[in-house]
Amino acid sequence: MELVVVLAILAVVAAVVAPAVGRGADDVRVRAELAGVAGFLRAAREHAVARGQALEVTLDREGHALLRRPGRDAEEGVQASRAVSPLLRLAANPLRSRVTFLPQGMSSGGRFRIGAPGPRAYVITVDPLTGRVTTHRGAS
């Protein structure tokens, strides 16, 4: 009888804990993806400063990716790209779907909103004066 009671208690605990663990794993994946996007933007700034050449990062909503290419006056094509998980919703100010990083470290500034599954959303901001890339949890 005691064994049956212990097994019943373990079943109840497992039923309560399992969904929380699943949500935690999803949150870790979303945060990893967010860090990857922010890292891509930071790397573009570093390349612009190191090469002494303006670089643009463009949000490709249809391809669900970020594209890095030289500034508008250069003739080269895409230098690098970073795919973004299709589970995430990408958004940017329609007028600012691209950020230009200048050789001095400054940028044109920008704000990208990344919606996660469920009500969660995050915002990546690129400061125009310093080119600094920050992330924070935004309103859903």
Contact present, 74 and 52 (Cβ < 8 Å): no
Q: Report pLDDT digits (tens) over 83-123.
A: 888 777 777 655 567 889 999 989 988 888 888 777 788 88
pLDDT range class, residue 62, cuts 50, 70, 90: confident
pLDDT greater than 70 at residue 22: no
Tallying the residues shown for the chain, one arrives at 140
List of long-range contacts for 19-27, beta carbons under 8 Å, 24+ apart: 26/116, 26/117, 27/116, 27/120
What amino acid occupies position 89? R
Contact present, 113 and 84 (Cβ < 8 Å): no
Span 2-138: which CATH code? 3.55.40.10
Least Cα distance to 54 among 111, 129, 124, 108 occurs for 108
Delimit the domains of the chain by residue range. 2-138
Helix/strand/coil (H/E/C) assignment for every residue in 101-125: ECCCCCECCEEEEEECCCCCEEEEE
Contact present, 100 and 58 (Cβ < 8 Å): no
CA 101, CA 107: separation in Å to the nearest integer? 4
pLDDT greater than 60 at residue 140: no
Q: Report pLDDT digits (tens) over 25-45.
A: 677 788 888 898 899 999 999
Contact present, 91 and 106 (Cβ < 8 Å): no
Query: What mean pLDDT value characterizes the chain?
Result: 82
Which pLDDT value is given to residue 84? 83
